[in-house]
Amino acid sequence: MSQPPLLVLYGSQTGTAQDTAQRIARQAKRKRLQVQVLPLDNYNMANLISESLVVFVCATTGQGDPPDNMKNFWRFLFRKSLPVGSLSRLDCAVLGLGDSSYPKFNFVAKKLHKRLLQLGASALLPVGLADDQHDLGSDAVIDPWLASFWEKVLTLYSSLADVTPLREDEPLPPTYTFHFLDDVKEETGDRLRITTDQTVPSQSHPFPARLVSNRRVTDPSHFQDVRHIEFDITGSSIQFAAGDVVMMCPRNAPEDVEQFCQLLGLDPEGRFTLRPTDNTAVPARLPQPCSVRHLVESYLDIGAVPRRSFFEMLSTFSNNELEQEKLVEFSSAAGQSELHSYCNRPRRTALEVLADFPHTTAQLKVDYLLDLFPEIQPRSFSIASSLQAHPHRLQILVAVVRYKTKIHKPRRGLCSTWLASLDPAQGEVYVPLWVKKGTLKFPKDRDTPVIMVGPGTGVAPFRSAIQERIAEGKTANVLFFGCRSESRDFYFRSEWEEMMKAGHLTLFTAFSRDQEDKVYVQHRVKENAELLWDLIANKSACFYIAGNAKQMPASVSDALKEAFQQEGGMSADEAEQMFEAMERTGRLQSETWS
């Protein structure tokens, strides 16, 4: 049998599945296999019937949903009209990346595996179910799974055994080469490709929204800086409803960009064009020509905690024995707990790692930057306003992420720090953004009451919903809001008070630190069991939870089940069944983030 070209297709939401797909491709290149890596929605699905060897790597998002960059593929694959044996030529393998603390653990990978078999494909090995919760992370499953995958490929294609693979310590050729322009630095290129015409803004064509205001809404003495930020979206053709989210790509801090360029000896003002070394397309988000500053500031994720693949690649450039030894250890299966202590636990950034390995960093060739650093991923925020209440405006509520680890310099969230630094008083500021359908859906029926539990910034989507519902004459709105202190972080207080006066809102508050005993939203849910039971059992109310995914969602869910038992005279099992039935029919929805 001749040597197969390998196709690696991925569905990735945060970049982890993409990183794993690229790792498989690097292993294939070392075995001198022809390989192509693509997000599933960039692949022409009609060609699948003629492929011979495909690996699918996919994450599961939300409530068991496929990632955004495989949604079209997913719809296509589950068409009833696809003939049963249409993939009978295909040898494939499915690797899922998931987190077993979610109920639909690796749901997408399991379902994909089953569907490919239905269509006649042969699975080379059982579906791999990597779990973030494992002590060693996803690699505990990925490493052995990949070892058996390559064994199977070698038995299938015996000609591979005759090929001498590339040594592990040899750098692979880069995906792109940089061609620097030595012409006069004209003002071109670095403007993001943004649209102001009538196409709906998207990731490849975001809308430059003007920043109208950026206000701190927590008391100056409060430990956390939370911002209420407003954008002007006039002329954008952006539409959104309650529960939708806004997406934006953050930028690296100017001082980090400077340090990065210094460490690598790059001129931030240098301009270049990219040329792919194989059939890879140049990233759509990068203008051609592009400046080094734009690449580092807006594209390369230098402030993230690097993955194992970063150390693997870095080790191939090192000519310093001590540094190389450490990098090889960090990229080996045996060195993962060491890597965890060095990198993940203290949240050390890729930029800080480069500074820790100066000899290796000095050897880094610019051509490898796009292989070494992942692309900055878009961040999403619940929209906290309604177009009916605020036409042409879009508002968000952002907690600025800042915390201490054993590293002297405080850790900062990339997007929240960048947003907090934008000041409309210093001149016009534009933020490229686009909107995406959210998971929360609110009832159309005018008389259906809505019960919302949104402590902290979890209240954002509910502010949007309440504004929208009041504008539509829907006044059966119940909100449970919790925060630390009535005087320090009670967001939108005056608005809620006005709505209550007008009879449009019933509000229950829990201020956890304002008294000796801590009071949380779940306590208020328990105290109001009678009201909640009446609204749910007699008036078909819908129940929503939004906020931090630590203990709150589970505690609120337990409090609600207790209310069913107490007021509805149910057994624990019956309460559980009622809760699950509400989830199934969309009467109970949650949107939580970690």
Q: Residues within the annotated binding site?
A: 12-17, 59-62, 97-106, 132, 347, 379-382, 413-416, 457, 512-513, 518-522, 593
In residues, how long is the chain?
594
Residue 205 token pair: 């064509």
Q: How far apart are CA 207 and CA 209, in angstroms?
A: 6
Residue 584 token pair: 């199934």
| Residues annotated in a binding site for FMN | 12-17, 59-62, 97-106, 132
CB atoms within 10 A of CB 375: 16
Q: How far apart are CA 404 and CA 345, in angstroms?
A: 11
Please give the C-alpha separations between residue 242 and each of 38, 67, 171, 388, 578, in angstroms, as whole numbers.
Answer: 33, 21, 49, 10, 26
Give the chain's count of helices (H) and strands (E): 20, 22
Short-list 430, 420, 451, CA closest to 556: 451
Pairing of strands 477-483, 450-453: parallel
Collect all residues with Cβ–Cβ distance below 8 Å to 45 and sequence separation of at least 6.
73, 76, 77
Please give the C-alpha separations between residue 127 and each of 10, 50, 113, 120, 124, in angstroms, as whole numbers.
Answer: 14, 22, 7, 16, 9
| Residues annotated in a binding site for NADP(+) | 457, 512-513, 518-522
Cα within 13 Å of Cα(79), Cβ side: 12
Cβ proximity of 175 and 365 under 8 Å: no
Residue 61 DSSP one-character state? B
| Residues annotated in a binding site for FAD | 347, 379-382, 413-416, 593
Please give the C-alpha separations between residue 185 and each of 269, 275, 290, in angstroms, as whole numbers.
Answer: 8, 20, 11
